[in-house]
Amino acid sequence: MGNKDWKTELKNHFENMRILEKCQAETLIHFEQFCEFIVEPAFEALVDEIASFGVKARFQKAKGRDIRLSLSFPGSKDEQFHYKIAIPRNSVELRLALVIRGRKNLKSDYKTTEEAFMPDLSPAEVLKLTKDDVILDVLEHYRNFSYEALTSPD
């Protein structure tokens, strides 16, 4: 088996576990800061502006898990579109998931897609995003969803 010292192996294992847990805790703190200082102000600005177009919007945050913005059908209370940024469980870096959920009309089922949130950015670059960067990403996804809903045959 070689001359590996099992006590050293055991010590290394517990040290690695400690480092991993520390990375997970730091990642969660970064996600909380990202939500508080970048995403929440972006969503607040969008909610206010979207209201001027007769569309109800609201956002909610699930601590340590995700933050989501939902838009209603124009002139209705019924939700049409969700934009959710989530942190995958046990993440050791800020690689976030984006979940888009929407329905064409009140009778249709929700269609959900999941993708990486701004996949071209490194975890460090995600923390440097501005409120406007997030707003533009929401608008791009909302616009794509709306066009697809209007032009799809079913």
Write the DSSP assignment of 45-68 as a string of letters: HHHHHHHTTT--EEEEEETTTEEE
pLDDT given for residue 63 in this prediction = 83
pLDDT value of position 101: 96
Domain locations in the chain?
Answer: 6-151
Among 64, 79, 68, 56, CA closest to 33: 64
Indicate the pTM of the whole model: 0.89
Cβ atoms within 10 Å, residue 4: 8
If the chain, 154 residues long, is cut into consecutive pieces of 10 residues, what is the mean pLDDT of each piece?
Answer: 83 95 94 96 97 94 92 92 95 94 92 95 95 98 91 77
